[in-house]
């Protein structure tokens, strides 16, 4: 296979992107294989102490000299594994690993630097963490072309003075950014700078921090500045401030094709989603913690759902409190005709699936105590394109053996996958 071009070998190795062990084996075959596989491995590096060592080795000479001078890193005489160290300025790594990176997590880099220095109990721990992190980010901004960026300020609080967006190379490094994941409490200035650089983000994932008083103008500007936003994910816990961005989202009513809303204790209307008429994928998963019956009493803000129609909707994942299930049924009546994938933990809407979703290929559902073998037969017979079913059992009287028999006798022509949970010893046949 040594006569294959780099492009051909790259196409082959792409099949093993999720199997790091195979790619690491490819590194050892020969120099040519090593050059191809190392690029794939470093597109999304797993941040560890070993990777941190490599990043320090890749630092430009001026960064190394600066860090030597202030005592953040030392010139070692004997290399010591699992120590943050740097080779002499005359020694360079085999590859320019950082230039291969396409995925960068600001939080992960900061966390691994912080972990190392905390373990060393350095006198200037905080200062050393900030200085080394800054130099690493400066290097990334200078040589990488990042496609996916994550900046979450949740579990690990990143100091405001670590501001990667102000480096000279940032506008080139991030101009082709296509996916951005963040928390709402990131420094507003970071969002403002990104809004001036990144205009082609297609996938935006926002987690609203429960300690934030409000959504910053910087985040609103970033949302508004995008030209072709296709996917939006909103996750919130004990915070209602996501509603502050609704005006910023209005620009994307024609381009958005995927919307995910997840959280708990929501008391804001969902009426804004009606404008996204080109939606192809929709997930609404909201849970409630309450002492009241059914865990939830006031659900007026869900009522508009039953009137929404999305003519292009293909995938639906919807999980809402029990009292809202009649609204979900009505939603299926309006939008089930073109669905190819449906997921829900709502036990009472399987009949609506049977009545309104004839084109389903994939069904993920829950069996309640009223779920009968007859209803399952009807679903299998009416959904003639069905290929896969995943079933969760919650009090159903339908036994595992009965379920297997019904599927065997009634499954459509292309049906090939069955997953079911909570049946245990009943399937010992």
What per-residue confidence (pLDDT) applies to 374?
Answer: 83
Distance CA 341, CA 355 (A): 15
Task: Answer whether 299's CB lies under 8 Å from 321's CB.
Answer: yes
Predicted confidence pLDDT, tens digits, the chain (429 residues): 456 787 787 778 777 777 778 878 877 788 888 887 888 888 888 888 888 888 998 999 899 888 888 888 766 554 444 444 444 444 677 788 899 999 999 999 999 998 878 766 665 688 888 899 999 999 999 999 999 999 987 777 788 777 889 888 899 999 999 999 999 888 889 999 999 999 999 999 999 876 666 788 999 999 999 999 999 999 886 655 667 888 899 899 999 999 999 887 655 678 889 999 999 999 998 876 554 544 444 566 778 888 899 999 999 999 887 788 888 899 999 999 999 999 988 767 888 888 899 999 999 988 766 666 788 888 898 999 999 998 887 666 677 788 888 888 999 999 999 888 765 555 544
pLDDT score for 82: 44
Q: Which two tokens stand for residue 377?
A: 């037969």
331-334's contacts with Cβ under 8 Å and 24+ in sequence apart are 331/305, 331/306, 332/356, 332/357, 334/306, 334/307, 334/308, 334/309
* CB 40 within 8 Å of CB 14: yes
- How many residues does the structure list for the chain? 429
Q: Do 259 and 232 form a contact (C-beta atoms < 8 A)?
A: yes
115 conformational bin, left if phi > 0, alpha if psi -120 to 50, beta if neither:
alpha
How many other C-beta atoms lie within 10 A of the C-beta of residue 395?
12
Task: Kindly state the tokens that stand for 108.
Answer: 């992960």
Res 425: pLDDT? 52
How many Å apart are CA 215 and CA 127, to the nearest integer?
30
> Domain locations in the chain?
1-41, 45-176
Q: What's this model's pTM, rounded to 2 decimal places?
A: 0.86
H-assigned helices in 59-121: 61-70, 106-120
Burial label, 253 (beta-carbon count in 10 A; 0-12, 13-18, 19+): middle
d(CA 133, CA 151): 14
- The distance from CA 246 to its chain's CA centroid, rounded to whole angstroms, is 21
Look at residues 411, 405, 348, 347 and name the one whose alpha carbon lies nearest to residue 379: 411
Residue 367: what are its φ and ψ, rounded to 5°? -90, 120
d(CA 202, CA 402): 46
Spatial contact of 105 and 114, defined as CB atoms under 8 Å apart: no
């Amino acid at each position: 296979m040594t006569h294959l071009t780099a492009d051909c070998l790259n196409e082959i190795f792409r099949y093993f992107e999720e199997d790091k062990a195979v790619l690491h084996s490819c590194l050892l075959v020969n120099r040519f294989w090593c050059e191809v596989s190392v690029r794939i491995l470093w597109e999304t590096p797993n941040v560890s102490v070993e990777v941190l060592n490599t990043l320090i080795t890749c630092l430009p000479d001026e960064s190394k000299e600066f860090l030597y001078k202030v005592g953040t890193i030392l010139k070692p005489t004997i290399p010591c594994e699992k120590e943050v160290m740097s080779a002499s300025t005359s020694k360079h790594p085999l590859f320019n690993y950082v230039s291969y990176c396409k995925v960068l997590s600001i939080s992960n880099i900061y966390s691994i630097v912080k972990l190392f220095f905390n373990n060393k109990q350095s006198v200037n721990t905080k200062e050393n963490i900030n200085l080394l992190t800054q130099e690493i980010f400066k290097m990334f901004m200078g040589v990488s072309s990042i496609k996916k960026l994550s900046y979450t300020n949740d579990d690990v609080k990143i100091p405001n003075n670590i501001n990667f967006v102000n480096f000279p190379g940032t506008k080139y490094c991030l101009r082709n950014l296509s996916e951005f994941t963040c928390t709402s409490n990131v420094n507003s200035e970071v969002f403002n700078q990104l809004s001036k650089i990144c205009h082609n983000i297609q996938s935006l994932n926002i987690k609203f921090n429960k300690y934030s008083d409000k959504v910053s103008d910087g985040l609103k500007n970033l949302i508004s500045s995008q030209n072709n936003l296709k996917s939006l994910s909103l996750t919130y816990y004990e915070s209602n401030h996501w509603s502050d961005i609704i005006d910023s989202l209005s620009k994307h009513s024609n381009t958005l094709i995927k919307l995910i809303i997840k959280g708990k204790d929501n008391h804001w209307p969902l009426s804004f989603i009606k404008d996204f008429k080109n939606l192809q994928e929709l997930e609404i998963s909201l849970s409630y913690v309450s002492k009241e019956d059914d865990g939830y009493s006031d659900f007026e803000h869900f009522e508009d759902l039953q009137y929404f129609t999305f003519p292009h909707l293909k995938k639906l994942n919807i999980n809402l409190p029990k009292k809202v299930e009649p609204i979900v049924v009505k939603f299926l009546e309006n939008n089930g005709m073109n669905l190819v994938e449906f997921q829900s933990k709502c036990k009472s809407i399987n009949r609506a699936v049977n009545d309104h979703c004839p084109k389903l290929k994939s069904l993920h559902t829950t069996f309640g105590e009223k779920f009968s073998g007859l209803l399952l037969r009807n679903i299998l017979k009416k959904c003639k394109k069905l290929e896969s079913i995943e079933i969760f059992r919650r009090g159903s009287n339908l036994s595992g053996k009965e379920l297997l028999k019904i599927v065997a006798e009634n499954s459509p022509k292309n049906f090939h996958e069955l997953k079911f949970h909570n049946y245990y010893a009943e399937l010992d046949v």
